[in-house]
């Protein structure tokens, strides 16, 4: 049913599918400037979640000076609120949790409770990024 493909940006076919989802969600739906949306592609590890052959969600992570930053989580509108985001988030966390580094992300305000349910905690005050309110959130699973 669901399949997750992991790739680097050198895989142009998968990259194109992931970018199409991000364009639809971030640029078209949320009004993010495309120049802000497409950055650090080559240094990130990318994920594409497929339902059968149809790409329906994407995410990525990359190493920064602050740790491992999870980014660009996007689920196509008609597949939201069905656990798809959690499937791809858990796959990313499985891959990065053993690295021994801080795991963090910038969560849009409307996604904060989703990330809190999945082991993240808000740090500090909200801030604006790409014209959208966000919180810095760090991964601190309760079972540790």
Predicted model pTM = 0.93
- Residue 141's pLDDT band (cuts 50, 70, 90): confident
Q: Where are the beta strands (DSSP E) in 54-117?
A: 54-64, 67-75, 103-108
Assess whether pLDDT exceeds 70 at residue 57.
Answer: yes
Assess whether pLDDT exceeds 70 at residue 144.
Answer: no
Domain boundaries, the chain: 2-139
Greater model confidence, 38 or 139: 139
Top CATH class, 2-139: alpha beta
Residues 115-134 pLDDT 10s: 999 999 999 999 999 999 99
How is residue 22 written in tokens? 């991000």
Residues 1-35 pLDDT 10s: 899 999 999 999 999 999 999 999 999 999 999 88
Distances (CA, A) of 82 to 7, 16, 17, 60, 77: 24, 24, 21, 20, 11
Above pLDDT 70, what percent of the chain?
98
CA distance 20 to 131: 21
Note the pLDDT of residue 38: 84
């Amino acid at each position: 049913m669901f399949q997750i493909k992991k790739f680097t940006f050198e895989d142009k076919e998968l990259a194109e599918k992931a970018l199409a989802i991000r364009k639809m969600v971030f640029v078209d739906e949320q009004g993010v400037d495309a120049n802000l949306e497409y950055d650090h592609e080559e240094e990130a590890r990318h994920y594409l979640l497929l339902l059968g052959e149809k790409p329906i969600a994407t995410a990525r992570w990359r190493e920064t000076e602050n740790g491992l930053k999870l980014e660009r989580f996007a689920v196509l509108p008609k597949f939201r609120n069905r656990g798809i985001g959690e499937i791809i988030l858990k796959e990313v966390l499985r891959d990065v949790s053993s690295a021994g580094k801080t795991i963090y992300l910038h969560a849009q305000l409307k996604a904060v409770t989703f990330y809190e349910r999945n082991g993240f905690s808000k740090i500090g005050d909200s801030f604006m990024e790409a014209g959208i309110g966000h919180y810095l959130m760090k991964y601190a699973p309760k079972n540790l």
